[in-house]
Amino acid sequence: MRITCDTKDTLPLSAITEFQGGLKKRTDDDIKKIEKSIHDYGFATPFFVWKHEGKNKVLDGHGRLQTLKRMAAKGEEIPAIPVVYIDCPNEQAAKNLLLRICSTYGEMTAESVRDFIKELDIAFDDIRLPCGTIDLTPLDKKKMDDTKKTLRQQFLVPPFSVLDTRQGYWQDRKKQWKSIGIKSEEGRDNKMLKHLKENACKVNGGTENTLSEVSIFDPVLCETMYTWFCMPHGSVLDPFAGGSVRGIVASYKHMKYKGFDIRPEQVEANEKQKQICDGNEYAPQWICKDSLKMSEVLGSDMYDFVFSCPPYADLEKYSDIDGDISNMDYPQFLETYRAIIKAAVSHLKDNRFAVFVVGEVRNKKTGEYYNFVPDTIKAFEDAGLKYYNEIILLNVAGGKAYTAGHDAKKSRKIAKVHQNILAFVKGDADEAAKIHEQVLVFLKGSSREANADLGEFRADNCILPEMFE
């Protein structure tokens, strides 16, 4: 082995002690790279050594030290190693310095850093590593919980790509919304409700006592999407209104809402639900009309947010009305569905978002997926929008917990307990983000304190609390 650097001090390999412990994990491949570098270029950089309590502890060069020991074990002669002595007053100072001059090969984890520093008070603000600044937040459960709470205060739900409706805070929020009197199932006749209950068992994990999550829209999800992707006092266009949830939640958030539904009994039922909004100026509007013809009603009106949950092809049959896309075979459904999306986004202002909640649907004859999710993405892209966010919505398993094993054994069909939330942007995403702020929502029939714990947004343009007194 060649020595290609020169210092006044050298030490035999046996006199040099490692100091890093398990801070960095190195693979065999890492060691081989270091060994090759030493063979190709020689030992070119001295060890930085902290002499403490009679031991020469390495502050920089642990990978090379490990490699040299392996080379020596294989019988290779290792000459005296050049060293530079570093003055450190104590162990804390030495470990602080080690973190700042840490070598490239190897990987640090949060656990390894924690074990390395133990009870020492190490400042990490300006420590840079190959992968960036160390973040030890996950090591502290309290800090982690505080971080989650802060995100909830800012965004109602932590803005991650997975939304878990099974969480206690989500279910508590949902109960509060239901407590104001929302009955989204109103407007479905007995025949339809029976069909939905059957699908709740077959498709989404419900029981005979529950309705399909596809059919009854989650008010917390609705509130979250309005909070994330629509500005305060914005306007919402919904081409597949269905039940009353999205309209009522928009009203409580002081957003103008206009939804289209082809079924007159559904619109009539939604109108009866309007009394929940106490007649405020943001009362939702439902239009009984084929969404394909929405421009006949809207004219030149433009909206701040397009938000909907469309029929999942022929999964649920809503009516026998001509133009109801739930009655169509998939090719015809897709053609009409694409045209409705194009019509809806033509009424979306520039630099605004659109969000659809969808899920894959199986062909009832073959059992294969239609590819409904990719088809939805393609429809929006062809309409001129850009695919911007994908979010997974985890639903309560319900009856799926009991049927999943049987179904998997019988057909290899995996129990589906999620939906896809697809977000698109029209125009410039940065500009769209600039005009969006957070809004505080108080739920009627509960205290401000209780609601603040569920979604406390520090914004100047909050919903007027007297509306909910």
Whether the CB-CB separation of 358 and 323 falls below 8 Å is answered with no
DSSP label at residue 170: H
Domain annotation covers residue 462: yes
DSSP sequence for 180-202: TT--TTTT--HHHHHHHHHHHHH
Residue-level pLDDT, tens digit, the chain, 469 residues: 888 888 889 999 999 998 877 777 778 888 888 898 888 888 888 888 989 888 998 887 778 888 999 999 999 999 999 998 988 888 888 887 777 665 444 555 556 566 655 555 554 443 444 443 344 444 455 555 555 556 777 788 889 999 999 988 899 999 989 888 887 677 655 455 444 445 444 444 444 443 444 457 999 999 999 999 998 889 999 999 989 999 999 999 999 999 999 999 999 999 998 888 876 788 999 999 999 999 999 999 999 999 999 988 666 666 667 767 777 888 998 999 999 999 999 999 999 999 999 998 888 888 888 899 999 999 999 999 999 999 999 988 766 665 666 677 777 878 788 999 999 999 999 888 887 654 444 454 443 443 443 333 333 333 333 333 3
Query: Radius of gyration (Cα) for the chain, nearest Å?
Result: 31
CATH number at residue 31: 3.90.1530.10
pLDDT of residue 469: 32
Name residues whose C-beta falls within 8 Å of residue 320's C-beta, 6 or more positions apart in sequence.
327
Q: How many CB atoms lie within 10 A of CB 403?
A: 16
Q: In this structure, are strands 386-394 and 162-164 parallel, antiparallel, or unpaired?
A: parallel
Whether the CB-CB separation of 17 and 83 falls below 8 Å is answered with no
Domain annotation covers residue 155: yes
pLDDT of residue 104: 47
Tokens of 28: 């065999």
pLDDT of residue 453: 39
Domain annotation covers residue 332: yes
Task: Catalogue the E-assigned strands of 132-273.
Answer: 132-133, 162-164, 235-238, 256-261
Domain annotation covers residue 80: yes
Domain annotation covers residue 219: yes
Q: Are residues 133 and 182 in the same domain?
A: no
pLDDT of residue 328: 82
pLDDT of residue 101: 63
Distances (CA, A) of 124 to 87, 92, 133: 21, 13, 8
Name residues whose C-beta falls within 8 Å of residue 46's C-beta, 6 or more positions apart in sequence.
5, 7, 81, 82, 83, 84
In three-state secondary structure terms, 175 is helix
**Bridge partners for 158 per DSSP:** none
Q: Are residues 431 and 290 in the same domain?
A: yes
User: Cα separation of 114 and 117, whole Å?
Assistant: 6
**Bridge partners for 386 per DSSP:** 425
The number of distinct structural domains making up the chain is 2
Q: Are residues 231 and 125 in the same domain?
A: no
Q: Are residues 252 and 104 in the same domain?
A: no
Among 76, 103, 137, the domain boundary falls at 137
Among 137, 167, 188, the domain boundary falls at 137
Q: What is the pTM of this model?
A: 0.61
Distances (CA, A) of 366 to 111, 196, 361, 415: 49, 21, 11, 17
Which residue type, as a one-letter code, is found at position 330?
Answer: Y
Handedness of CA 143, 145, 149, 154 (dihedral sign): positive
Whether the CB-CB separation of 83 and 10 falls below 8 Å is answered with yes
Name residues whose C-beta falls within 8 Å of residue 441's C-beta, 6 or more positions apart in sequence.
223, 252, 253, 451, 455, 463
What is the CA 467 to chain-centroid distance, rounded? 32
Sheet arrangement for strand 285-288? 162-164, 386-394, 418-426, 348-358, 303-308, 235-238, 256-261, 285-288
What is the CA 393 to chain-centroid distance, rounded? 9
By residue range, what is the domain housing residue 337?
149-468
Task: List % helix, strand, coil for the chain (3-state, nearest 5).
Answer: 40, 20, 40
Task: Catalogue the E-assigned strands of 330-460.
Answer: 348-358, 386-394, 418-426
Q: Are residues 232 and 113 in the same domain?
A: no
Q: HSE (CB half, 13 Å, CA atoms) of 283?
A: 12
Tokens of 361: 């649907």
Q: Are residues 268 and 329 in the same domain?
A: yes
Q: Are residues 374 and 427 in the same domain?
A: yes
Q: Are residues 81 and 160 in the same domain?
A: no
Q: Are residues 90 and 29 in the same domain?
A: yes
pLDDT of residue 364: 82
pLDDT of residue 273: 87
Q: Are residues 259 and 351 in the same domain?
A: yes
Whether the CB-CB separation of 312 and 357 falls below 8 Å is answered with no
In three-state secondary structure terms, 444 is coil
CATH number at residue 405: 3.40.50.150
Domain annotation covers residue 2: no
pLDDT of residue 381: 97
Q: Are residues 74 and 175 in the same domain?
A: no
Whether the CB-CB separation of 99 and 48 falls below 8 Å is answered with no
Domain annotation covers residue 268: yes
pLDDT of residue 275: 86
User: Cα separation of 295 and 343, whole Å?
Assistant: 7
User: Cα separation of 67 and 92, whole Å?
Assistant: 26
Q: How many CB atoms lie within 10 A of CB 73?
A: 8
Domain annotation covers residue 143: no
pLDDT of residue 131: 41
